[in-house]
Copies of this chain bind each other. A is one copy, B any other.
Amino acid sequence: MSTVTWIAVDWGSSNLRIWAMGADGADGAVLERITTDQGMLELTKDQYEPVLLSHIAPWLGDTAMPVVACGMLGSRQGWIEAPYGTVPVSPASQTVTVQTHDPRIDVRVIAGLQQLEPADVMRGEETQIAGYLAQNPSYSGVLCLPGTHSKWVAIDAGKVTSFQTVLTGELFNLLADKSILRHSMGAWDEASFLQAVAQSAQSPEALLTGLFGLRASQLLRGDDTGKSRLSGMVIGTELGATKAFWQGKETVIIGAGELARLYGAALQQLNATVKVEKVEEMTLSGLKTVYESVFK
């Protein structure tokens, strides 16, 4: 294996992702990837360093290895509390240094972002945004980062000017897995999803009153499209309530897999223009930008 030059880390609530990074190259210089479920929610403050070392020890040498990390490890309940940058601001422009016990690592944690009014916060997504801006330095427009808590981000000339967190993914999971609606999910039906997106984007005020209808239409008509309709209802409601961000602009989705596809299909259903960027690439691009500004 080529020499590891620095280590990139995305340490979220539920997962820990580590990349061994070499000298730059056409492949993005990733020498090795590790993904574990040792997320913040599983760890106490004093477990972060041993957990990290257990994965990266083979890559360490005589001099302190640069480690650049983003995500919930920077929260009060994480490894070290990193401050929030306040919008409008360049994302991922601040870091804090962790006082480690092991001198073989030099760990920097990227600060999250806050918006004072309406109150909002992010930790982790600022690095993906910085990754996109590293490749599009003077970008003005909108980014959508789907997830358990999706983020809508307005960018003006490379700075985050405002953002909005929406609990859509968490709400979908709670309703689909733990509510009375769990008995009415059925198989996936794309047409029902798109129809629900269109209806809910038009009438976002009808989400709460529309939910029980998924159960009732299954009981009365044997409707088997509950899961698709619920997904379309929550994503459509999100899109209807965030029009100020995306209407009349191209939306850049930073995401992966089925969720990024659903948001893309939903926005296109509403006649919006969409481009998708891969979240892992953007995260690495953002971590690399910080690595270069801090360590080079």
Binding site for B on A (CB under 8 A): 84, 114-116, 118-121, 149, 164-168, 170-171, 174-175, 178-181, 203-209, 211-213, 215-217, 219-221, 223, 234, 237-238, 240-242
Contacts and interface: CB of A to CB of B under 8 A. Distances in A.
Query: Which of A84, A211, A238 has its CB near the most chain B CB atoms (within 10 A)?
Result: A211
A255 to B, nearest CB: 18
Nearest to A233: B208
Contacts of A204: 205, 208
A147 to B, nearest CB: 12
Where chain A touches its partner, the secondary structure class is: helix
Nearest to A223: B119
A170 B174 CA distance: 10
A90 B119 CA distance: 49
Given A119-B216, A167-B208, 11 more contacts: A114-B220, A120-B212, A120-B213, A167-B212, A171-B179, A171-B208, A204-B205, A207-B207, A207-B208, A208-B234, A209-B238
Nearest to A76: B219
Contacts of A213: 118-120
